[in-house]
């Protein structure tokens, strides 16, 4: 005997508390998902008595009723015939935020900004991995070659493929931030491009003492540099810019809005970014450099523990390129770079956590993003794993990654791991350790232990509940 889907739909609406208690409805492969006004009005006992209902639960801001494959589609059709509206994308997002604290909402919003950026970062990770392997003196020496013998055309092509995303990363971040917070994405894009304009001193060049590039000083004491490689500063600029735009849209007369609003948004935010946000971060960079120099000389690998734990946090601030100055200084004075091993382990720990969540997750989005983000992290680009998985649902996976990397960094310092260069990490970073069989073996062992430890701990303790929902 077949189900009476019309009667089932009517019973569902009645047990929910009537049509007035239902904002909207949608369905997945097995469940009917309803956004309700007041969940206290739901008669869950009565719902369980309805024919075909196999279970109910409330999650992600939605009351979900399990009907099973095939049946849910027909129930959904009958429910919509009763005048219940389909759930929009914005309503679904709002429902998922329901019941979350401010930190959880901030983390989720931060993740929403970076998800569209992940494909570009993953591709860049692959290109950087190839660059690290192909354009490396240690690797080329196997074939009796040096980087000086590589054709210039090939080098330029590789540089374009591997460097473009990070050269314009602030522009991409600004664009996405404006989009998420309701501003005009094109204004965010233009603002971001202004922040990396070639007329400004390149942040990476400023961090390299041998480049001869120094900041521009406004009024003789306010340092101004580009935002190359910056993430959080670009996010802040985009967030403030979108808020400013929406405010101006409400206050500027309609007749002049088309001209005045974009002009003021770009002018005010450029000045604010370069004269306030940028100099503050420059001061942070100088203090951070001094702190890392002191940390590297602490006994018992404590410096590796400190730098390793905080490195992902430092990356979030956008001042991580300051490590180039320290690494180059170490290489110039000693010929070796102990910082590299610490930074490499960060990639292995974050990739281990990311892979565990991706493999255990039931949410399709995570199962798609996770493996590619893991691969990217293993090739030296950790942002997809960081923003797409570790920070997207709650902060526990991120904290675990920091802890594992801190321990790995301490071990790296204790056993004396040190590379012969900088700029490449994780799997491509192996090339910096092939100068010594002992260094190479220790690097591979520590990398494997770090990755496996992060994977196992993440699998057991920190897989977010949200990713376990289809």
Q: Are strands 31-36 and 22-27 parallel, antiparallel or unpaired?
A: antiparallel
- Position 107 confidence tier, pLDDT thresholds 50, 70, 90: low
Q: What is the pLDDT of residue 104?
A: 64
Q: What is the pLDDT of residue 87?
A: 63
Q: What is the pLDDT of residue 465?
A: 86
pLDDT of residue 90 exceeding 80, the answer is no
Q: Which of 15, 28, 354, 402 is catalytic?
A: 28
Q: Encode pLDDT of 320-364 as tens digits.
A: 767 777 887 788 778 889 999 999 999 999 999 999 999 999 888
> Which of 155-161's residues contact partners 24+ apart within 8 Å by CB, and which partners?
158/127, 158/130, 158/131, 158/134, 159/131, 161/127, 161/131
- Position 93 confidence tier, pLDDT thresholds 50, 70, 90: low
Name the CA dihedral angle for 380, 160, 123, 185, rounded to a multiple of 10 degrees.
110
How far, in Å, CA of 347 to CA of 75, rounded?
Answer: 47
Contact 464, 100 (CB under 8 A): no
Q: Encode pLDDT of 133-181 as tens digits.
A: 677 777 777 777 877 788 888 888 888 888 888 788 889 989 999 988 8
pLDDT of residue 9 exceeding 70, the answer is yes
Q: What is the pLDDT of residue 313?
A: 87
How far, in Å, CA of 403 to CA of 311, rounded?
Answer: 11
Measuring CA to CA, which residue among 247, 251, 248, 113 is closest to residue 185? 113
Contact 205, 211 (CB under 8 A): yes
Domains of the chain: 5-99 (3.30.1360.60), 102-115+296-470 (no CATH)
Q: What is the pLDDT of residue 84?
A: 87
Q: What is the CA radius of gyration of the chain?
A: 26
Determine the average pLDDT of the residues in 360-383: 88
- Position 412 confidence tier, pLDDT thresholds 50, 70, 90: very high
- Position 102 confidence tier, pLDDT thresholds 50, 70, 90: low
Determine the average pLDDT of the residues in 79-108: 66
pLDDT of residue 96 exceeding 70, the answer is no
Between 129 and 16, residue with greater pLDDT: 16
pLDDT of residue 269 exceeding 90, the answer is yes
How far, in Å, CA of 447 to CA of 438, rounded?
Answer: 14
pLDDT of residue 91 exceeding 60, the answer is no
- Position 418 confidence tier, pLDDT thresholds 50, 70, 90: very high
Between 368 and 299, residue with greater pLDDT: 299
Determine the average pLDDT of the residues in 173-190: 91
By CB neighbour count within 10 A (0-12 exposed, 13-18 middle, 19+ buried), where does 299 fall?
Answer: exposed
Q: Encode pLDDT of 273-329 as tens digits.
A: 999 988 887 677 778 878 888 999 899 999 999 999 999 888 877 667 677 778 877
Across 65-79, 207-221, 382-396, 418-432, least confident range: 207-221
pLDDT of residue 218 exceeding 90, the answer is no
pLDDT of residue 268 exceeding 60, the answer is yes
Q: What is the pLDDT of residue 440?
A: 94
CA distances from 190 to 171, 262, 281, 348 (A): 7, 10, 22, 35
pLDDT of residue 400 exceeding 60, the answer is yes
How far, in Å, CA of 273 to CA of 224, rounded?
Answer: 10
Measuring CA to CA, which residue among 17, 391, 345 is closest to residue 232? 391
pLDDT of residue 89 exceeding 70, the answer is no
What is the percent of the chain with per-residue pLDDT over 90, rounded to a whole number? Answer: 34
28 is catalytic: yes
Q: What is the pLDDT of residue 329?
A: 74
Q: What is the pLDDT of residue 103?
A: 63
Determine the average pLDDT of the residues in 101-114: 69
Between 50 and 62, residue with greater pLDDT: 50
Between 6 and 288, residue with greater pLDDT: 6
Determine the average pLDDT of the residues in 93-106: 60
Between 55 and 332, residue with greater pLDDT: 55
Q: What is the pLDDT of residue 262?
A: 94
When the pLDDT of each residue in the chain is averaged and rounded to a whole number, the result is 85
């Amino acid at each position: 005997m077949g189900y009476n889907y019309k009667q089932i739909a009517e019973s569902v609406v009645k047990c929910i508390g009537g049509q007035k208690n239902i904002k909207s409805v949608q369905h997945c492969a097995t469940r009917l998902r309803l956004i309700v006004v007041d969940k206290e009005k739901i008669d869950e006992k009565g719902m369980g008595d309805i024919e075909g209902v196999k279970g109910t639960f409330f999650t992600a801001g939605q009351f979900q009723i399990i009907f099973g494959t095939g049946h849910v589609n027909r129930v959904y059709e009958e429910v919509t015939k009763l005048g219940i509206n389909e759930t929009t994308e914005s309503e679904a997002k709002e429902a998922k935020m329901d019941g979350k604290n401010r930190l959880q909402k901030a983390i989720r919003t931060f993740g929403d900004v970076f998800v569209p950026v992940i494909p570009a970062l993953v591709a860049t990770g692959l290109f950087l991995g190839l660059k690290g392997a192909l354009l490396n003196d240690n690797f080329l020496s196997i074939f009796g070659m040096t980087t000086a013998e590589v054709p210039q055309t090939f080098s330029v092509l590789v540089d374009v493929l591997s460097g473009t995303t990070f050269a314009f990363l602030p522009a991409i971040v600004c664009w996405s931030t404006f989009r998420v917070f309701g501003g005009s994405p094109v204004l965010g894009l233009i603002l971001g491009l202004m922040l990396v304009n070639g007329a400004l001193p390149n942040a990476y060049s400023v961090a390299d003492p041998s480049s001869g590039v120094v900041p521009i000083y406004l009024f003789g004491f306010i340092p101004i540099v580009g935002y190359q490689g910056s993430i959080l500063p670009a996010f802040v600029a985009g967030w403030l810019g979108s808020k400013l735009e929406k405010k101006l849209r409400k206050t500027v007369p309609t007749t002049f809005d088309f001209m005045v609003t974009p002009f003021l948004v770009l002018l005010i935010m450029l000045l604010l970014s370069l004269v306030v946000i940028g100099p503050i971060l420059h001061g942070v960079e100088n203090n951070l450099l001094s702190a890392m120099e002191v940390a590297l000389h602490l006994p018992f690998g404590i410096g590796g523990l400190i730098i390793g734990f905080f490195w992902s946090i430092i990356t979030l601030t956008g001042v991580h390129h300051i490590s180039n100055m320290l690494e180059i200084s170490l290489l110039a004075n000693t010929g070796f770079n102990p910082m590299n091993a610490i930074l490499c382990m960060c990639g292995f720990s974050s990739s281990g956590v990311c892979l565990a969540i991706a493999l255990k997750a039931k949410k399709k989005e995570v199962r798609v993003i996770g493996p590619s983000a893991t691969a990217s992290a293993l090739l030296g680009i950790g942002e997809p794993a960081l923003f797409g998985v570790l920070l997207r649902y709650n902060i526990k996976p991120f904290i675990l990654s920091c802890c594992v990397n801190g321990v790995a960094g301490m071990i790296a310092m204790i056993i004396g791991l040190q590379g012969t260069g900088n700029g490449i990490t994780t799997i491509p970073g192996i090339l910096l350790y092939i100068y010594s069989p002992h260094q190479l073996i220790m690097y591979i062992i520590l990398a494997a232990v770090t990755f496996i430890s992060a994977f196992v701990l993440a699998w057991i303790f920190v897989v977010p509940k949200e990713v376990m929902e289809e």
